[in-house]
Amino acid sequence: MLKLRHALAALSLVCLAGPALAQDAPPRPTTPDGWRELTLSDLAVAREVLNTQTPIPFDTENPSYPAWLQQGYEQATARAAAVTDQSGHYYTLAFYLSGFGDPHINVNSSVDLPPPTWPGFLAASRNGGAVVVMRDENDAEAPAIGAQILSCEGRTLEDLATERLYPFVLNEQLALDRRRAATRLFMNRPIPGAPAPANCRVSENGAERDITLRWRDLPDPADAYWAAYQTASVGARAEWGVSEPAPGVFWIGIPTFSSGGETGAQLDQLVRDINARGAEMRGARAIIIDVRGNGGGNSAWADRIARGIFGDGVAARAANASSRASAVDWRASAENVAYWREWLTETIIPEFGANSDSARFGRAAIDGMEGALDDDPPIWRQGSSNVARSGGLTQQRPRGGRSPFAARVYMLSNGTCGSSCLNFADTVLFVPGVQLIGSATSGDGPYMEVRNVTLPSGLATLTIPQKVWRGMGRGPLEAYQPDIAYDGAWDDASVRAWVMELVAAR
């Protein structure tokens, strides 16, 4: 039986479609004044959506959220005075949403932003610093591949990211975002008040020199640039499926837990493949559970996969070992109820069945929120009235325990693992003997169960949470730290070679 933590987070979804606020977006502004007016309008709607459709205004246990709801809005509207174009519009919205510091509260551009510029090189986080991994071969002044970027404008790269990136994009508390910042600093999309660096000091061939960054258009075509950017900043995603790259070594690729469409079919096939070979894998040399690129989705899939890999008994014991009394508070709103009715009908029942745990969960959410629509505050509590203190779960996993079966098990993370992927980690990493390798996982805030809302401009889409977790095992942004860390290149070939060397040495 699923423990309460998983039952309450059974559909902790990362990115779901949601109703737009406007069917026909207005034309884009053509003047700076027009962009400022549009920014102020979208900011006002964003605040209203957060105020009327999320638990934030009533959350006394996390006071920074309701405080930022108003204070962040005031700061963002002040910043709007400097907006002159589409980039300024987007990054002013991003300033407001990023200020909550919660991965489940954000904004994404619904249309392509103007093309960025680059200084003739790409950098990647490596060896505690930033290393050049791509350069404009026609620029004699561009630093060489392998050159280390020591500082920019007399500042450390960490300080520069804290000032010019983290208020708008990325989150300094997450390992992946700190790694991504080393790349993002050298890709410029104009952010009002946060200019791209103008000069840097680099070390190459045993000598240091100062360089002036000459920002220019991306290479044309830009495909190679964007592929290199992805590899440098995040790395390759896991490849779907079960494979055996060496005798007795099984590699399970799980790039997402997201329901619906093509991924639902891929997850169903993956569960079938794992169940078919589960006993064989448990008796083999090693199992690599590859969650690179997995940002979460539907925890029902995560639970099925965990049971297939470890067997029902071991998976249940691991899940129970990390269980604690908890609850969630749902924000009752007509929009949230309408979203769940559509989600239940169009995705959950076709994918899992009308009598599945997921369908029962959806119907309970609808009934609970409907019953609380006229309450003051309009909050439905699901779960225990007395909950445990949040935080500390990642420190309670078994260390050095004896594995319940022959195979050594590794969970491979590149830092994306959050939301339902973290629920999955709460089971996998509580199986004795399992090691986390690669990077720290991501971390969750207390808010979850998201849906998307397109702003009236049609230029940006909010990701908003519908519930807040009480007594969560992992505290806000608490991550699992790797037992064996990796600090090399994150392209697929390099990561796979490192893992196979690790397996062979043990």
Tell me, letter by letter, the H, E, C secondary structure of 384-448.
CCCCCCCCCHHHCCCCCCCCCCCCEEEEEECCCCCCHHHHHHHHHCCCCCCEEEECCCCCCCCEE
Q: Residue 117 corresponds to which amino acid?
A: T
Phi-psi region for residue 438, left (φ > 0), alpha (ψ -120 to 50) or beta?
left
Burial class (CB in 10 A: 0-12, 13-18, 19+), 399: exposed
Query: Helix/strand/coil (H, E, C) string of 258-320?
Result: CCCHHHHHHHHHHHHHHHHHHHHHHCCCEEEEECCCCCCECHHHHHHHHHHHHCHHHHHHHHH
Query: How far from 426 is each of 53, 103, 390, 422, CA to CA, in Å?
Result: 29, 18, 14, 6
The answer to whether residue 302 is domain-embedded is no
Q: 293-307: b or e for each residue (b if 16 or more CB lie within 10 Å)?
A: bbbbbbbbbbbbbbb
Q: What is the predicted pLDDT for the residue at 351?
A: 86
- CA 187: distance to chain centroid? 20
pLDDT along the chain (506 residues), means of 10: 36 38 72 97 98 97 97 98 96 98 95 95 91 95 95 96 96 96 96 95 94 96 96 96 98 94 92 97 97 94 97 95 89 97 92 91 95 97 86 90 92 96 96 97 94 96 96 93 95 98 93
Q: Exposed, middle or buried by CB within 10 Å (0-12, 13-18, 19+), for 171?
A: buried
Rounded Cα–Cα distance for residues 232 and 247 (Å)? 31
Q: Specify the pLDDT at position 3.
A: 36
Q: What is the pLDDT at residue 418? A: 95
Please list the residues that pair with 381 across neighbouring strands. Answer: 329
Whether the link from the prior residue into 432 is cis, omega within 30° of 0, is: no
pLDDT at 13: 39
What range does the domain containing 205 cover?
Answer: 117-221
Q: How many residues does the chain have?
A: 506
Cβ pair 109, 82 in contact under 8 A: no
Do 286 and 503 meet the contact criterion of CB atoms below 8 Å apart?
yes
pLDDT at residue 12, as a whole number: 41
DSSP 171: -
- Give the global pTM: 0.89
Cβ neighbours for 28, distance < 8 A, ≥ 6 positions apart:
86, 459
Whether 122 is in a domain gets the answer yes
The set of residues, in sequence order, having a beta carbon less than 8 Å from that of 473 and lying 6+ positions away, is: 5, 322, 323, 324, 326, 390, 391, 392, 393, 426
Q: Name the burial class of residue 314, with classes exposed (0-12), middle (13-18) and buried (19+) by CB atoms within 10 angstroms of its CB.
A: buried
Task: Round to whole Å and give the CA distance between 29 and 226.
Answer: 28
482, amino acid identity: P
Provide the H-helix boundaries in 165-213: 175-184
Assigned domain for 197 exists = yes
Closest CA to 422 of 175, 257, 194, 268: 257
> Has residue 331 been placed in a domain?
no
Question: Kindly report the CA angle at 504 between 502 and 505, in degrees rounded to 5?
Answer: 65
User: What integer pLDDT is reported at residue 454 of this predicted model?
Assistant: 97
Q: Is residue 68 part of a domain?
A: no
**Helix pair angle (86-98, 32-53), 10° resolution:** 30
Angle formed at CA 162 by CA 188 and CA 296, multiple of 5 degrees: 80
* Structure token pair of residue 409: 């098990």
Nearest CA-CA partner of 226 in 134, 293, 91, 144: 134
Beta strands in 91-183 (DSSP E): 106-109, 117-118, 121-126, 129-135, 148-152
- Looking at residue 388, its pLDDT comes to 80
Say how many domains are in the chain. 1
Structural domain contains residue 42: no
In-domain check, residue 188: yes
- Helix (H/G/I), strand (E/B), else coil: 30: coil
Predicted pLDDT at 59 = 96
DSSP at 81: G
CATH code assigned at 140 = 2.30.42.10
Structural domain contains residue 205: yes
